[in-house]
Amino acid sequence: MSSVSQSRDNRQRRRSTTAIKESLRELSIQLSLLNHQVGGRLGVKDADFDCLDLINRHGPMSPSALARRAGQHPATMTGVLDRLERAGWITRERDPADRRAVRVRALKERNAEIFGLYAGMNEAMDDLCAGYDEAQLALLAEFLDRATTAGRHATDALAEGPSDG
CATH code for the domain of 37 = 1.10.10.10
Domain shared by 81 and 16, yes or no: yes
What is the predicted pLDDT for the residue at 39? 95
Q: What is the mean pLDDT of the chain?
A: 93
User: Same structural domain for residues 12 and 91?
Assistant: yes
How confident is the model at residue 100, as a pLDDT? 87
Q: In the prediction, which pLDDT does 127 show?
A: 98
Whether residue 68 sits in one domain with residue 50: yes
In a domain, 137, yes or no: yes
124 and 58 in a common domain? no
- Do 101 and 156 lie in one domain? The reply is no
In a 3-state reduction of DSSP, which class is residue 29? Answer: helix
| Cα 74 versus chain centre, distance | 19
Please indicate, yes or no, if residue 165 is contained in any of the structural domains. no
User: What is the spatial distance between Cα 100 and Cα 102, in angstroms, rounded to a whole number?
Assistant: 7
- 2 by Cβ neighbours in 10 Å (0-12 / 13-18 / 19+) ranks as exposed
Confidence of residue 1 (pLDDT cuts 50, 70, 90): low
Q: Is the pLDDT at 144 greater than 70, yes or no?
A: yes
Q: Which domain, by its residues, includes 140?
A: 118-160
The per-residue pLDDT for 16 is: 96
The total number of structural domains in the chain stands at: 2
Q: pLDDT band for 163, please (50, 70, 90 cuts).
A: low
Residues 74 and 152 in one domain: no
Total residue length of the chain? 165
- 165: pLDDT confidence band, cut at 50, 70 and 90? low
Phi/psi of residue 43, nearest 5 degrees:
75, 30
Q: Are residues 151 and 110 in the same domain?
A: no
pLDDT band at 7, cuts 50/70/90? confident
State the average pLDDT over residues 13-32.
96
* Tens digit of each residue's pLDDT (9 = 90 or more) over 61-111: 999 999 999 988 989 999 999 999 999 999 999 988 888 889 999 999 999
Q: Are residues 113 and 32 in the same domain?
A: yes
Residue 36 is inside which H or E element, if any? helix 3-42
Looking at the fold, whether 76 and 150 belong to one and the same domain comes out as: no
